[in-house]
Structure 1
Amino acid sequence: MRNNRAMSVRPHRIAVLALDHVVGLDLGTPSQVFSTARSSAGASFYDVRVCTPGGRPVRSTAGFQVHPDHGLDLLDTADTVIVPGIHDGTALTSGSLEPEVAEALRSAYRRGARVMSICTGAFVLAAAGLLDGRRATTHWAYAERFRRLHDRVDLDPGVLFIADDRVLTSAGVAAGIDLCLHVIRLDHGSEVANRAARRCVMPPWRDGGQAQYIEQPVPKATDTSTAGAREWARQRLHEPIALRDLAEQARMSVRTFTRRFRSETGLSPAQWLLQQRTDHARLLLETTDLTVDQVAHRSGFGTTAALRQQLRQRIGVAPSTYRRTFHPRAELIGS
């Protein structure tokens, strides 16, 4: 996590590197998501621009050409570099990359930039050597090909996204949106990320460790759903909530409820509830003057020690550190 007070001086600069056969949705995702991250006064936190090798037009998979305003020199001053997915090209077929592109990516990373990929953009980062010895993910359908080409990468194709220091990779399609929202949350906190998610008509948070896809079919709207039980739980996060309580709200057996819950959310009820409590605690730390002990109780953790353990496990910092980073009056609030 970063303390981004310095970022208020100017927008954080994001360079989106589009290569030939770029996936149209992946190309548009960073601009769409990061442009919705704004201060309460409406100021943009990010400046997103697109570049290509030599500033040349590239083909997209969506039937249009991309005519960028920038070449690879855009990476020289970018704070974050994002590589969208591709559906063809040597990075995908043989694991190789144009030397100038590989060096531009390596140079940006050496300079301190954050480097990200969406979907098969991970093949590009791997071809540049930026994923060697790291955990990474990509679209599950390309996992075997990725392993054949890049055996020095610790690939986990079963998750939505992975953040390994300054190198972040996501699975395909909507997981790129999840990764961008995750970065906004890291940079500016839950409140800003939640507002951005609402503008994108997206859930505010899906954990990176959540499964990429659900093997059970998502229940039809006419089927019995656990949505009502989830909403019931959200209104009572400050109270103890047992699995049997949730099942009773859905009028199901515990076994049926657990199976249905996982098919709808990709998480077990316990994992989902812990995620909801953690997110609520983060929001309270950012937006209220409650003490850390009060936040722990109102989010259902019961004790400061339990809250501290969960925050450290999920985002690597203590509650007081998180508040100092994201609360505008943190220095005036007691712990």
Structure 2
Amino acid sequence: MDANQHDDVIEVTDLRRVYGGEGREFEAVRGVTFSVARGELFALLGTNGAGKTSTVELIEGLAPPDGGRVRVLGHDPYADRAAVRPRIGVMLQEGGFPSELTVAETVRMWASCTSGARPTGEALDLVGLAHRADVRVKQLSGGEKRRLDLALALLGRPEVLFLDEPTTGLDVEGRRNTWELVRELRDGGTTVLLTTHYLEEAEILADRLAILHEGRTAAIGTPAEVTASQPSHVSFELPDGCFPGDLPPLAELGVNSHETTGRSIRLRTNELQRTATALLVWAERTRVELRGLDVRSASLEEAFLRISREATAHGVAGTQPTGPPGGRAVDPGDKTRESVAQTRGRGTAG
């Protein structure tokens, strides 16, 4: 099948990445498998050290995997770099821009190395930096530098866009504007692989997501599917003269567990509609006012935290890298990120 017609633009199968020499090896990515369809926005979530950056670097073709298989647009992104690079855009966690160049000069410099680059003005308009075109990079705020990084990632009109923590440092308006731009790109057919620590960002933007924990996939699915695996909540306060014992049997309400603090009640349930309906029927029948009634499904944050705890409890966690005595453990991705920040390879023909 022609790569352009392949339904899965990104295919990751049993991916593995190992750092360190013999006797000090650390397996940062341990059998990760997922795929991303054309035009889909897929988010990779995980705590620090979960393997997100190491996984994304392999998919971007910055290093060969130590095991497993990666395909991007039907190609091995490392071995077939020349075929893949002109068709992808990469936004790094940190930019590493030449500080004395202006914003426009930075874009023009990179455009000269990019196949089919957008005009400089168009690229800056996309990210709301047109009014800062003549400002030197060193005078930009942290959020403006992030937007410049996004402009460079979009220069080559990529078919596949990698966004590594794209809204870090942005204010609320900047973050919302970036979300809208990413949605427009996705709706226009661009495939997006996103890593973020903002769970709200993943919940709003992602078509599907994976939660990584200690180098393995702890959960995968749509945001709704992942959150549906966790209990919903119903909380309220009973009025004076009414006590928790007056409630109907919790089993009849479909309640898994509950907490009571004075007159405040918090119920957990996997059957939210049944629980809420039965509770309201009881309150109407007994003429009880449920003060501060709050009925809500589990949030992605709650699901993320519980999945991470359960993964640890079930032995997903593995051996962590060791640092020098009295020193800081080194993030295995630091050296690679420094190298990439220096070369800033995005969507080039080479």
Q: Which has the higher strand share?
A: 2
TM-score of the pair, normalised by structure 2: 0.30
Determine which structure has more spread, i.e. the larger CA radius of gyration: 2
